[in-house]
Amino acid sequence: MSINRKWIFAGLGVVISLVFLWLAFSNLELAAVIGYIRQVQPGWLALSVVVFIVSVILIAWRWSFLLRAEAIPLSYLTQVVMIGYMGNNVYPFRTGEVLRAVLLRQRYRVPLARSATTIIVERVFDGLVMLAFIFIALLFINAPSPEIQATARVGGPLFMGAVMVFFALALRPGLLRGLLRRVCRVLPARLAQIVNGIGEGILAGLEGLRSPKDLAGAVLASFISWLVHAGVYALVALAFGLQPGFPAMLLAVGMVNLAGLIPASPGQIGIFEYFGGLALVAVGVPREQAKAFALVTHVVVWLPATALGFYYLLRQGLGWSAITHAGELDEMESHAAG
Protein backbone atom coordinates (compact mmCIF):
# COMPACT_ATOMS: atom_id res chain seq x y z
CA MET A 1 0.00 0.00 0.00
CA SER A 2 1.45 3.38 -1.02
CA ILE A 3 2.12 6.07 1.57
CA ASN A 4 -0.55 8.37 0.11
CA ARG A 5 -3.15 5.61 0.19
CA LYS A 6 -2.21 4.77 3.77
CA TRP A 7 -2.76 8.39 4.80
CA ILE A 8 -6.13 8.42 3.02
CA PHE A 9 -7.32 5.30 4.84
CA ALA A 10 -5.92 6.56 8.15
CA GLY A 11 -7.72 9.86 7.66
CA LEU A 12 -10.94 8.03 6.83
CA GLY A 13 -10.59 6.10 10.09
CA VAL A 14 -10.25 9.34 12.04
CA VAL A 15 -13.37 10.73 10.36
CA ILE A 16 -15.32 7.57 11.22
CA SER A 17 -14.18 7.80 14.86
CA LEU A 18 -15.21 11.46 15.06
CA VAL A 19 -18.64 10.60 13.66
CA PHE A 20 -19.17 7.89 16.28
CA LEU A 21 -17.89 10.15 19.06
CA TRP A 22 -20.48 12.70 17.98
CA LEU A 23 -23.18 10.02 17.90
CA ALA A 24 -22.12 8.79 21.34
CA PHE A 25 -22.05 12.15 23.10
CA SER A 26 -24.43 14.38 21.17
CA ASN A 27 -27.58 15.48 23.00
CA LEU A 28 -26.03 14.53 26.32
CA GLU A 29 -25.39 16.63 29.39
CA LEU A 30 -21.58 16.41 29.40
CA ALA A 31 -21.48 17.81 32.92
CA ALA A 32 -23.52 14.81 34.05
CA VAL A 33 -21.15 12.42 32.23
CA ILE A 34 -18.17 14.01 34.00
CA GLY A 35 -20.03 13.89 37.30
CA TYR A 36 -20.60 10.15 36.98
CA ILE A 37 -16.92 9.62 36.17
CA ARG A 38 -15.86 11.57 39.26
CA GLN A 39 -17.95 9.28 41.45
CA VAL A 40 -16.27 6.02 40.40
CA GLN A 41 -14.69 3.90 43.11
CA PRO A 42 -10.98 3.41 42.26
CA GLY A 43 -10.71 0.09 44.07
CA TRP A 44 -13.04 -1.61 41.60
CA LEU A 45 -11.14 -0.04 38.71
CA ALA A 46 -7.82 -1.37 40.03
CA LEU A 47 -9.30 -4.85 40.29
CA SER A 48 -10.69 -4.56 36.75
CA VAL A 49 -7.17 -3.89 35.44
CA VAL A 50 -5.90 -7.07 37.13
CA VAL A 51 -8.75 -9.10 35.63
CA PHE A 52 -8.03 -7.60 32.20
CA ILE A 53 -4.42 -8.81 32.40
CA VAL A 54 -5.69 -12.28 33.33
CA SER A 55 -7.92 -12.23 30.24
CA VAL A 56 -4.90 -11.45 28.07
CA ILE A 57 -3.03 -14.43 29.54
CA LEU A 58 -6.02 -16.60 28.64
CA ILE A 59 -6.03 -15.22 25.09
CA ALA A 60 -2.36 -16.23 24.83
CA TRP A 61 -3.29 -19.68 26.15
CA ARG A 62 -5.88 -19.96 23.37
CA TRP A 63 -3.24 -18.99 20.81
CA SER A 64 -0.99 -21.83 22.00
CA PHE A 65 -3.65 -24.37 20.91
CA LEU A 66 -3.84 -22.87 17.43
CA LEU A 67 -0.06 -22.64 17.05
CA ARG A 68 0.46 -26.20 18.31
CA ALA A 69 3.94 -25.10 19.36
CA GLU A 70 4.77 -26.42 22.81
CA ALA A 71 8.27 -24.94 22.65
CA ILE A 72 6.90 -21.40 22.94
CA PRO A 73 6.34 -20.49 26.62
CA LEU A 74 2.97 -19.07 27.61
CA SER A 75 4.77 -16.12 29.19
CA TYR A 76 6.29 -15.16 25.84
CA LEU A 77 2.99 -15.59 23.99
CA THR A 78 1.36 -13.33 26.58
CA GLN A 79 3.96 -10.64 25.96
CA VAL A 80 3.46 -10.91 22.20
CA VAL A 81 -0.33 -10.68 22.54
CA MET A 82 0.06 -7.57 24.71
CA ILE A 83 2.41 -6.06 22.12
CA GLY A 84 -0.22 -6.80 19.49
CA TYR A 85 -2.88 -4.99 21.51
CA MET A 86 -0.57 -2.02 21.90
CA GLY A 87 0.14 -1.90 18.17
CA ASN A 88 -3.57 -1.97 17.35
CA ASN A 89 -4.23 0.73 19.95
CA VAL A 90 -1.78 3.30 18.60
CA TYR A 91 -1.34 2.61 14.90
CA PRO A 92 -3.82 1.92 12.07
CA PHE A 93 -4.11 -1.07 9.71
CA ARG A 94 -4.10 -3.67 12.53
CA THR A 95 -0.35 -3.22 12.88
CA GLY A 96 -0.40 -5.16 16.13
CA GLU A 97 -1.30 -8.36 14.29
CA VAL A 98 1.71 -7.89 12.02
CA LEU A 99 3.94 -7.34 15.04
CA ARG A 100 2.72 -10.58 16.61
CA ALA A 101 3.52 -12.61 13.51
CA VAL A 102 6.90 -10.95 13.01
CA LEU A 103 8.00 -11.42 16.63
CA LEU A 104 7.25 -15.15 16.49
CA ARG A 105 9.19 -15.31 13.24
CA GLN A 106 12.19 -13.60 14.79
CA ARG A 107 12.29 -15.51 18.08
CA TYR A 108 11.00 -18.99 17.20
CA ARG A 109 11.22 -19.09 13.39
CA VAL A 110 7.47 -19.59 13.01
CA PRO A 111 6.66 -18.83 9.34
CA LEU A 112 4.76 -15.59 8.90
CA ALA A 113 1.95 -17.22 6.91
CA ARG A 114 1.41 -19.82 9.63
CA SER A 115 1.26 -17.37 12.56
CA ALA A 116 -0.81 -14.88 10.54
CA THR A 117 -3.32 -17.62 9.72
CA THR A 118 -3.68 -18.55 13.39
CA ILE A 119 -4.32 -14.88 14.20
CA ILE A 120 -7.06 -14.73 11.54
CA VAL A 121 -8.59 -17.92 12.96
CA GLU A 122 -8.48 -16.25 16.39
CA ARG A 123 -10.50 -13.35 15.04
CA VAL A 124 -13.10 -15.71 13.60
CA PHE A 125 -13.39 -17.51 16.95
CA ASP A 126 -13.70 -14.13 18.66
CA GLY A 127 -16.50 -13.16 16.31
CA LEU A 128 -18.42 -16.36 17.04
CA VAL A 129 -18.02 -15.86 20.79
CA MET A 130 -19.24 -12.27 20.46
CA LEU A 131 -22.30 -13.44 18.53
CA ALA A 132 -22.98 -16.07 21.18
CA PHE A 133 -22.73 -13.39 23.88
CA ILE A 134 -25.19 -11.15 22.04
CA PHE A 135 -27.70 -13.94 21.45
CA ILE A 136 -27.47 -15.07 25.09
CA ALA A 137 -27.93 -11.49 26.28
CA LEU A 138 -30.97 -11.02 24.05
CA LEU A 139 -32.67 -13.88 25.90
CA PHE A 140 -32.68 -11.64 28.99
CA ILE A 141 -33.01 -8.18 27.45
CA ASN A 142 -36.50 -7.54 26.12
CA ALA A 143 -36.06 -4.37 24.08
CA PRO A 144 -32.77 -4.36 22.17
CA SER A 145 -32.07 -1.38 19.96
CA PRO A 146 -32.12 -1.62 16.14
CA GLU A 147 -28.32 -1.22 16.17
CA ILE A 148 -27.95 -4.34 18.32
CA GLN A 149 -30.25 -6.36 16.08
CA ALA A 150 -28.42 -5.16 12.96
CA THR A 151 -25.05 -6.15 14.45
CA ALA A 152 -26.28 -9.70 15.04
CA ARG A 153 -27.83 -9.97 11.58
CA VAL A 154 -24.68 -8.79 9.80
CA GLY A 155 -22.14 -10.57 11.99
CA GLY A 156 -23.83 -13.97 12.01
CA PRO A 157 -23.53 -14.86 8.31
CA LEU A 158 -20.10 -13.21 8.05
CA PHE A 159 -18.42 -15.26 10.77
CA MET A 160 -20.27 -18.48 10.03
CA GLY A 161 -19.11 -18.21 6.42
CA ALA A 162 -15.52 -17.68 7.56
CA VAL A 163 -15.72 -20.74 9.83
CA MET A 164 -16.97 -22.90 6.97
CA VAL A 165 -14.10 -21.77 4.73
CA PHE A 166 -11.45 -22.40 7.38
CA PHE A 167 -12.76 -25.85 8.27
CA ALA A 168 -13.02 -26.79 4.59
CA LEU A 169 -9.36 -25.87 4.09
CA ALA A 170 -8.28 -27.52 7.34
CA LEU A 171 -10.08 -30.82 6.71
CA ARG A 172 -9.39 -30.94 2.98
CA PRO A 173 -5.97 -29.32 2.46
CA GLY A 174 -5.88 -30.80 -1.04
CA LEU A 175 -8.35 -28.10 -2.13
CA LEU A 176 -5.86 -25.31 -1.50
CA ARG A 177 -2.90 -27.33 -2.74
CA GLY A 178 -4.73 -28.09 -5.99
CA LEU A 179 -5.50 -24.41 -6.48
CA LEU A 180 -1.89 -23.51 -5.73
CA ARG A 181 -0.61 -26.01 -8.29
CA ARG A 182 -2.78 -24.48 -11.00
CA VAL A 183 -1.72 -20.94 -10.08
CA CYS A 184 1.97 -21.81 -9.79
CA ARG A 185 2.05 -23.35 -13.27
CA VAL A 186 1.60 -19.92 -14.85
CA LEU A 187 3.97 -18.07 -12.52
CA PRO A 188 7.73 -17.58 -12.80
CA ALA A 189 9.65 -20.19 -10.80
CA ARG A 190 10.75 -17.82 -8.03
CA LEU A 191 7.27 -16.33 -7.57
CA ALA A 192 5.69 -19.79 -7.70
CA GLN A 193 7.99 -20.90 -4.89
CA ILE A 194 6.95 -17.92 -2.76
CA VAL A 195 3.23 -18.44 -3.41
CA ASN A 196 3.48 -22.16 -2.65
CA GLY A 197 5.36 -21.42 0.59
CA ILE A 198 2.64 -19.01 1.69
CA GLY A 199 -0.02 -21.61 0.91
CA GLU A 200 1.76 -24.27 2.95
CA GLY A 201 2.13 -21.77 5.80
CA ILE A 202 -1.61 -21.14 5.73
CA LEU A 203 -2.32 -24.87 5.90
CA ALA A 204 0.13 -25.20 8.79
CA GLY A 205 -1.72 -22.40 10.58
CA LEU A 206 -4.94 -24.40 10.26
CA GLU A 207 -3.48 -27.55 11.84
CA GLY A 208 -5.11 -26.69 15.16
CA LEU A 209 -8.54 -27.07 13.53
CA ARG A 210 -7.71 -30.63 12.44
CA SER A 211 -6.81 -31.79 15.94
CA PRO A 212 -9.90 -32.46 18.10
CA LYS A 213 -7.85 -31.81 21.24
CA ASP A 214 -6.43 -28.48 20.05
CA LEU A 215 -9.76 -27.39 18.57
CA ALA A 216 -11.59 -28.15 21.82
CA GLY A 217 -8.89 -26.32 23.77
CA ALA A 218 -9.09 -23.27 21.51
CA VAL A 219 -12.89 -23.11 21.69
CA LEU A 220 -12.90 -23.56 25.47
CA ALA A 221 -10.16 -20.97 25.94
CA SER A 222 -12.05 -18.55 23.68
CA PHE A 223 -15.15 -18.64 25.85
CA ILE A 224 -13.25 -18.61 29.14
CA SER A 225 -11.04 -15.68 28.14
CA TRP A 226 -13.95 -13.56 26.93
CA LEU A 227 -16.09 -14.41 29.95
CA VAL A 228 -13.23 -13.15 32.11
CA HIS A 229 -13.04 -10.08 29.88
CA ALA A 230 -16.75 -9.51 30.50
CA GLY A 231 -15.83 -9.58 34.17
CA VAL A 232 -13.73 -6.47 33.52
CA TYR A 233 -16.87 -4.67 32.34
CA ALA A 234 -18.80 -5.94 35.37
CA LEU A 235 -16.16 -4.58 37.75
CA VAL A 236 -16.22 -1.19 36.04
CA ALA A 237 -20.01 -1.21 36.39
CA LEU A 238 -19.58 -1.83 40.12
CA ALA A 239 -17.18 1.12 40.24
CA PHE A 240 -20.11 3.22 39.02
CA GLY A 241 -22.46 1.64 41.54
CA LEU A 242 -24.27 -0.15 38.73
CA GLN A 243 -25.63 -3.69 38.75
CA PRO A 244 -27.19 -4.08 35.30
CA GLY A 245 -26.73 -7.85 35.31
CA PHE A 246 -24.12 -10.02 33.59
CA PRO A 247 -26.18 -10.38 30.37
CA ALA A 248 -25.76 -6.63 29.84
CA MET A 249 -22.00 -7.08 30.21
CA LEU A 250 -22.02 -9.89 27.65
CA LEU A 251 -23.99 -7.63 25.33
CA ALA A 252 -21.52 -4.78 25.81
CA VAL A 253 -18.51 -7.02 25.11
CA GLY A 254 -20.19 -8.50 22.05
CA MET A 255 -21.25 -5.17 20.61
CA VAL A 256 -17.91 -3.43 21.17
CA ASN A 257 -15.81 -6.21 19.68
CA LEU A 258 -18.01 -6.92 16.67
CA ALA A 259 -18.05 -3.19 15.98
CA GLY A 260 -14.26 -3.44 15.79
CA LEU A 261 -14.83 -4.48 12.17
CA ILE A 262 -15.67 -0.85 11.43
CA PRO A 263 -12.48 0.76 10.01
CA ALA A 264 -12.19 3.52 12.57
CA SER A 265 -9.05 5.06 14.09
CA PRO A 266 -6.70 2.94 16.25
CA GLY A 267 -8.02 1.86 19.62
CA GLN A 268 -11.68 1.94 18.51
CA ILE A 269 -12.04 5.57 19.54
CA GLY A 270 -15.70 6.53 19.26
CA ILE A 271 -16.73 3.00 18.30
CA PHE A 272 -16.22 1.73 21.85
CA GLU A 273 -18.08 4.62 23.45
CA TYR A 274 -21.04 4.39 21.08
CA PHE A 275 -21.63 0.64 21.06
CA GLY A 276 -20.54 0.06 24.66
CA GLY A 277 -23.06 2.61 25.85
CA LEU A 278 -25.86 1.05 23.80
CA ALA A 279 -25.77 -2.12 25.87
CA LEU A 280 -26.40 -0.32 29.14
CA VAL A 281 -29.02 1.98 27.67
CA ALA A 282 -30.83 -1.18 26.50
CA VAL A 283 -31.24 -2.29 30.14
CA GLY A 284 -32.44 1.09 31.36
CA VAL A 285 -29.24 2.83 32.49
CA PRO A 286 -29.42 6.61 31.90
CA ARG A 287 -27.59 7.63 28.72
CA GLU A 288 -25.12 9.90 30.51
CA GLN A 289 -24.16 7.16 32.97
CA ALA A 290 -24.00 4.55 30.20
CA LYS A 291 -21.61 6.68 28.15
CA ALA A 292 -19.50 7.43 31.22
CA PHE A 293 -19.28 3.69 31.83
CA ALA A 294 -18.23 3.05 28.23
CA LEU A 295 -15.59 5.78 28.34
CA VAL A 296 -14.01 4.53 31.58
CA THR A 297 -14.14 0.89 30.45
CA HIS A 298 -12.35 1.92 27.27
CA VAL A 299 -9.56 3.49 29.32
CA VAL A 300 -9.32 0.37 31.51
CA VAL A 301 -8.74 -1.94 28.54
CA TRP A 302 -6.71 0.54 26.47
CA LEU A 303 -4.20 2.02 28.90
CA PRO A 304 -2.75 -1.14 30.55
CA ALA A 305 -2.48 -2.94 27.20
CA THR A 306 -0.72 0.00 25.59
CA ALA A 307 1.68 0.60 28.48
CA LEU A 308 2.55 -3.06 29.04
CA GLY A 309 2.73 -3.74 25.32
CA PHE A 310 5.24 -0.97 24.79
CA TYR A 311 7.24 -2.16 27.80
CA TYR A 312 7.40 -5.69 26.37
CA LEU A 313 8.32 -4.30 22.96
CA LEU A 314 11.31 -2.54 24.53
CA ARG A 315 12.29 -5.82 26.21
CA GLN A 316 12.41 -7.37 22.73
CA GLY A 317 15.11 -4.83 21.87
CA LEU A 318 12.71 -2.89 19.64
CA GLY A 319 11.43 0.66 19.90
CA TRP A 320 8.59 2.85 18.71
CA SER A 321 9.85 2.69 15.13
CA ALA A 322 9.09 -1.05 15.14
CA ILE A 323 5.39 -0.19 15.21
CA THR A 324 5.52 2.14 12.23
CA HIS A 325 7.75 -0.24 10.24
CA ALA A 326 6.25 -3.57 11.30
CA GLY A 327 5.98 -4.76 7.74
CA GLU A 328 9.72 -4.34 7.25
CA LEU A 329 10.84 -6.29 10.33
CA ASP A 330 10.61 -9.69 8.69
CA GLU A 331 12.63 -8.51 5.72
CA MET A 332 15.32 -7.22 8.10
CA GLU A 333 15.34 -10.54 9.92
CA SER A 334 15.59 -12.49 6.67
CA HIS A 335 18.63 -10.48 5.58
CA ALA A 336 20.25 -11.04 8.97
CA ALA A 337 19.62 -14.79 8.76
CA GLY A 338 21.02 -14.93 5.24
In a domain, 17, yes or no: no
Q: Tell me which of 54 and 146 has the higher pLDDT.
A: 54
In a domain, 6, yes or no: no
How confident is residue 149, by pLDDT bands cut at 50, 70 and 90? low
In a domain, 323, yes or no: yes
How confident is residue 330, by pLDDT bands cut at 50, 70 and 90? very low
Overall average pLDDT of the 31-35 stretch? 95
How confident is residue 112, by pLDDT bands cut at 50, 70 and 90? confident
If one counts the domains in the chain, the total is: 1
Cα–Cα distance measured from residue 49 to residue 171, given in angstroms and rounded to the nearest whole number: 39
In a domain, 2, yes or no: no
In a domain, 88, yes or no: yes
Cα–Cα distance measured from residue 74 to residue 96, given in angstroms and rounded to the nearest whole number: 18
Per-residue model confidence (pLDDT) at position 338: 38
In a domain, 21, yes or no: no
In a domain, 22, yes or no: no
**pLDDT above 70 (res 2):** no
